[in-house]
Amino acid sequence: MSDRITHVGGPGTGYVAKLLVNLLWFGQAAATAEALLLGRRAGIDLGVLTETLAAGPASTAFIRHDLPALLAGDYLTDFGLDRIHDQLTAVTALAERLDTPHGITDTVRRLHGEALERYGPADGELLGVALLEEKAGILLRHPVAPVADSRTGAAERPTENNP
C-alpha cells in the first residue's frame, strides 16, 4: 500500500484508479505465476528464472517485492478473495459500460472467481496463483516443495514428469 496520495480527477476517479492498480497487480501475479510454472515444467531452475525476470525488461514491482513471499509459501493474507473478485468484477463492468477492450481483465476476473469457488472467501491475495499451482501440480517454492496429490492427499516429490 502506498502512502502517496495522487489527485487523478473528479469524483469517483480515485476509486477507479485504485481498481486499475489492483487489476494490474493481480494480473501481474497471475502472468508471473504462469511464466514460472511453464519455466519449471520446461526444466528451468526456479531461482535462475526468478533472477532473470527480476533483472530483465519484464521486471515489475510484483516480481521485485511480492514474489519472494510467494516463493516462501506466503499467499499474502491481508485481503479477502471475495473482495478481490468484487473489485475485478467492478473493473470488468466498468470496461463493458465504457465499451473498452477487456479480455485480459475478464480472464483475471474469471481466474479469481474460480479460486473463490475453490477456496471460499479466504484471505489471500495470491490464491489465484495457488489455483494455478494446483492445476499445474507444481508449488512455486525455494527449494521446490513436494506437491500433494489431490486424489489421495499424499505428498509426492517432484519428478521429471512432475517438476
Q: Is the pTM of this model over 0.75?
A: yes
Determine, yes or no, domain membership for 4. no
pLDDT number for residue 157: 41
**What is the C-alpha to C-alpha distance for residues 77 and 153, in angstroms, rounded to an integer?**
23
Determine, yes or no, domain membership for 40. yes
pLDDT at 27 exceeding the cut of 90: yes
Determine, yes or no, domain membership for 8. no
Determine, yes or no, domain membership for 5. no
Using 50, 70 and 90 to split pLDDT, how confident is the model at 151?
Answer: low
CATH of the domain at 42: 1.10.1040.10
Crossing angle of helices 103-119 and 81-97, in 10° steps, is: 150
Q: How many domains does the chain have?
A: 1
- Look up cell 487489476; give the residue: 23
Q: Where is pLDDT greater, at 161 or 106?
A: 106
Determine, yes or no, domain membership for 67. yes
